[in-house]
Amino acid sequence: MSQEVATGFVRAQVPVRFLDISMGGALLVVPSAFEVGAIHDFAIDLGGDRIWAQCEVRHCRRADRGPGYHVGLQFLGIDPQDERLLREFVQRKK
């Protein structure tokens, strides 16, 4: 019998709080660090409308105040319908 070991990754739901969001990306607070360069799918609640975005982690640093980490995301892929909802949300927040 082979002693080969299988490895992998698990997807988990992690609560996040968005500090800022734009058409290009977002800044959020998370309870644990994210690896810079990692790509994740995020469900984002825009005041009742939920969109999905594929994002790359551009930076991650310990929060200045309080627990957690500040994570900067760059949006890589958003469905056109979700992009329209995001655009409307961002314009309302101006």
Tens-binned pLDDT, residue by residue, of the chain (94 aa): 567 888 777 677 888 889 999 999 999 999 999 999 999 999 999 988 999 999 999 999 999 888 899 999 999 999 999 999 999 999 998 7
Q: Give the integer Cα–Cα distance in Å for 90 and 26.
A: 11
pLDDT at residue 2 in the model? 61
Dihedral (Cα; 77, 81, 84, 90), 10-degree rounding: -60
CA torsion 8→70→83→37, rounded to 10°?
-40
What length does the chain have? 94
- For 17-92, the fitting CATH number among 2.40.10.220, 1.10.10.10, 3.10.620.30, 3.40.630.30 is 2.40.10.220
pTM of the model: 0.83
Token reading at 47: 């005041």
Confirm if 80 and 53 have CB atoms less than 8 A apart.
no
